[in-house]
Amino acid sequence: MGWRAALGAAALLLLAGCATPVQVQRRDPRDVQRELTSTVISTGELSGPTQVVLHRQDLSALFDRDPEAAIAILHRTVTAGQADADALFALAEMSFQHAEQTGRQPYYLAASVYAFVYLFPADPARRPDPFDPRLRAASDIYNRGLTSGFASPDRSRVRLRSGRFELPFGSIDITFDAASVRWGNLVLSDFTPADELHVIGLQNRYRRAGIGAPLAASATAPVQETGFRVAAVLKVPVTALLRIDLAAHDLAQGRLSGSIEVYPAFEPSVVEIRGQQVPLEADTTAALAYGLSNPKIWRSEFAGFLQGDFFARQPSQLVGVEPYRRGQIPVVFIHGTGSSAGRWGDMLNDLQADPVIREHFQFWVFFYSTGNPVPYSALQLRTAIEDAVRTLDPQGTDPALRNMVLVGHSQGGLLAKMLVIDSGSRVWDAFSSKPLDQMRVSPETRALLQRAVFVKPLPEVRRVIFIATPHRGSFVAGSWVGRLIGRLVTMPLNVANALAETAAGYPDELRVDPRATRFGSVWSMSPGNPGLQALAAIPVSPEVAAHSIIAVQGNGPVETGDDGVVTYRSAHLDGVASELVVRSGHSVQANPRAVAEVRRILLLHLAESCPQGCALALGRAAAPAQ
């Protein structure tokens, strides 16, 4: 081969080994997807579309060196009409990133302003394509910009207020009427950003995507409420919206105005902005978890068991998780022994997330000292419901208050049953061979025993759900450990006096040994309690629909199984409308299958309650899960 041929071959080899200026590389599709969809909210880095804008405006290097100068130049370009909506989105991202890096609140507010103008242009034809991922990203920037733009110095709260606020290109005058921020009769204040709350202890987190900053607010009643009140420790999920009044020249002149609006999460769920119906962002789970994290709730479990008068100073033991809503059916949760309202967290979280249930039901919780005798606690529940109905609807014009659903777990189910039966004298006869009206006791003792033991169905209740309820007793309550724990309970003075007077005056007529019996809830749930066996034999009123959810551990035969506290045979009731067995321990009220069954029953209740307009509820109220 001559030298020319050798030189040509060498040149070909060199050319073959050189990389081309433009290339592609095969990568994991997930990596490519992250590159295409990342935003300043998700990764802290500018999105691809924003980087394109910077490159086309020859601002990339300047933004790296001096972000504020690059933002100012692009702002002037936009207000001069020399850039399109892509630049508005880029300004929102650039401002938010700079605010995150410097902590400067004017840039957080600017990010919200740019995002608002991008999302809601004056010309409807220029609205973002709903399939453009920047629409969701701009909403997130707007929402987070509000949260951080109004954050307190320690960032623990969002300080919504009126005033003139600095922007990088001018200022914005904002009005906010704090006194008008109410939910029913409750004043809302002390706003906490839901975006900065990590939820622990609830199985599901429910969040509705939309516009506005999701917050958790404290609620305060202007006056002390009696008869019925909203739980003071709970937090209210709300959404803060900054509505910007923006004329065509305002952005260029740097003089903006707007108003802050605060909406409770469920009313309304949409707002109108420049002719668009826009959903409000909401995070109901974060607010619920924040309220339930209050140590007072959990401390009440132990103290409320041992101290029979623990809740005596409360204005009402029946509380709502929201203000009373006329026309919505109350669902009353009744917790079990050594428990509290917090144990209903998962069920409440899931049920409130169902829009049909949310629209037609309201949720109440009954607090009580769980060491007291079951008939006495049931009397307190009965009285609390009667007081609530009398307080909320004195004229008797709300039929929903006469269509209640009781949901009782464990001992709470026994309380519920005593509200839906006609006991006659059967419970008393199981306890004493002498009729009460023949006993010589004080008028106070007679009245208490008469009201607690001789009961009729509460007319306001139309359905009851028993969950892991020891109708025939709990083997734990009947054990020596249970008896020992039961002796630690101190009962209210009126209860202790009534029991002592009866036992001292008629020891031979009682069917139990009063000297060896501690008449608290532990004994009430003991299989050896004759009154409990009598209660189990009394059928639920035919006017009330009853359902059972029974927990059984393991995979063995249901009939011989138990949940660690209650056997299947004890929890089973003949004649109920439905019975569902869930493979679970005793705390089955948080089990997804139990929650789904309660949801089904509520939808069935709704469908059977309203004469028309319930097709959706009827369709969803299928047979119990198997």
The tens digit of pLDDT for each residue in 349-383 reads 999 999 999 999 999 999 888 888 899 999 999 99
Domain presence at residue 71: yes
The rounded distance, in Å, linking the Cα atoms of 258 and 165 is 11
Q: Omega of the bond prior to 268 within 30 degrees of 0, cis?
A: yes
Domain presence at residue 552: yes
With beta carbons less than 8 A apart as the criterion, state whether 149 and 108 touch: yes
491: tokens are 């009962």
Query: Which of 149, 179, 204 is a domain's end point?
Result: 149
From 143, 128, 239, select the one nearest 183 (Cα to Cα). 239
The rounded distance, in Å, linking the Cα atoms of 405 and 351 is 14
How far is residue 590 from each of residues 204, 341, 343, 348, measured CA to CA in Å?
Answer: 11, 12, 8, 9
Domain of residue 340, CATH code: 3.40.50.1820
Residue-wise pLDDT tens digits, 19-63: 688 888 888 778 777 777 788 999 999 999 999 999 999 999 999
pLDDT attached to residue 585: 95
pLDDT attached to residue 615: 46
Residue-wise pLDDT tens digits, 282-331: 999 999 999 998 888 877 766 666 565 666 666 568 988 888 889 999 99
Domain presence at residue 516: yes
SS3 state of residue 278:
strand
pLDDT attached to residue 480: 43
The rounded distance, in Å, linking the Cα atoms of 92 and 138 is 7
Domain presence at residue 450: no
With beta carbons less than 8 A apart as the criterion, state whether 315 and 225 touch: yes
pLDDT attached to residue 315: 55
Q: How many structural domains compose the chain?
A: 2
From 445, 427, 430, select the one nearest 503 (Cα to Cα). 445
pLDDT band at 471 (very low <50, low <70, confident <90, very high): very high
Residue-wise pLDDT tens digits, 215-236: 999 988 766 666 778 877 788 9
With beta carbons less than 8 A apart as the criterion, state whether 381 and 407 touch: no
The rounded distance, in Å, linking the Cα atoms of 466 and 413 is 5
- β-pair type (282-283, 276-279): unpaired
Residue-wise pLDDT tens digits, 481-516: 545 555 555 667 777 777 778 877 777 777 766 655
Domain presence at residue 351: yes
pLDDT band at 614 (very low <50, low <70, confident <90, very high): very low
Domain span at 79: 38-149
With beta carbons less than 8 A apart as the criterion, state whether 172 and 113 touch: yes
Query: Which of 149, 175, 207 is a domain's end point?
Result: 149
Query: Which of 124, 149, 174 is a domain's end point?
Result: 149
pLDDT band at 10 (very low <50, low <70, confident <90, very high): low
Residue-wise pLDDT tens digits, 582-601: 999 999 999 999 999 999 99
Q: Give me the DSSP letters along 47-100.
A: -HHHHHHHHHTT-HHHHHH-HHHHHHHHHHHHHTT-S-HHHHHHHHHHHHHHHH
pLDDT attached to residue 616: 47
Burial of 418 per CB tally in 10 Å (0-12, 13-18, 19+): buried
Domain presence at residue 163: no
Average per-residue pLDDT for the chain = 87
Domain presence at residue 211: no
The rounded distance, in Å, linking the Cα atoms of 286 and 295 is 16
Q: Is the pLDDT of residue 438 over 70?
A: yes
Domain presence at residue 86: yes
Please compute the mean of the pLDDT values over residues 64-78 and round it to a whole number.
96
Start-to-end CA span in the chain (Å): 86
Q: Give me the DSSP letters along 123-183.
A: SGGGSPPTT-HHHHHHHHHHHHHHHHHTB-TTSSSB----EEEEETTEEEEEE--GGG-EE
